[in-house]
A and B are shown apart, each in its own frame.
Chain A
Amino acid sequence: QKEVEQDPGPLSVPEGAIVSLNCTYSNSAFQYFMWYRQYSRKGPELLMYTYSSGNKEDGRFTAQVDKSSKYISLFIRDSQPSDSATYLCAMTGSNTDKLIFGTGTRLQVFP
């Protein structure tokens, strides 16, 4: 079993839709949770960062962490064609020096 599981998609939605992206994980020591966005032929860039459980909102993006279920989510409201990219979850904790990535979900938002 992988430490971090993420549905690879692809996910295709119309402009304006609400998008939900998810990851599950197995290591209960993970405390730091991130979402990276990767455009085609580019390196990943940090989109959202959450420590421990709870929600964090930044504009159209909301990150949620449910540590009891070992489940994290990224919601995108009013999705735009410019949101078309691969979204990678990443996480780490106090018992590791590694940042573990999910496989990434490819999202396409069509006009």
Chain B
Amino acid sequence: EAQVTQNPRYLITVTGKKLTVTCSQNMNHEYMSWYRQDPGLGLRQIYYSMNVEVTDKGDVPEGYKVSRKEKRNFPLILESPSPNQTSLYFCASSFGPNTEAFFGQGTRLTVV
């Protein structure tokens, strides 16, 4: 089954404790993205990757890191989480930004 898998689905952490949200896709997609979704602000792109070892900033990259060492995986790293990073996060993959994006189930992150 074609899918994008994110883990964990829910996470509560404390300020400053490094965390990683994993994302994996099995569709051989080149393009992968991370978004955060906040009430009234919609989906905002954090980082995206056009292919292996190629990453670029989206609209809200501050406080986040990503890596793309393999085509299928695109982890999101918060080195020192802060409460303003409390949000719902989605990973997505596609063949390109102008093709259908497949989304993961989301990760609800709370930073206290």
Contacts and interface: CB of A to CB of B under 8 A. Distances in A.
B42 A102 contact: yes
Counting chain B residues whose Cβ lies within 8 A of the other chain, the interface size class is 20 to 34
B105 A43 contact: yes
Q: Is the interface of B mostly helix, strand, loop or mixed?
A: strand
A42 B100 contact: no
A88 interface: yes
Nearest to B49: A97
Interface residues of A, number: 26
A45 B103 contact: yes
A45 B41 CA distance: 18
Interface in A1-50: 6, 8, 31-32, 34, 36, 41-46, 49
A73 interface: no
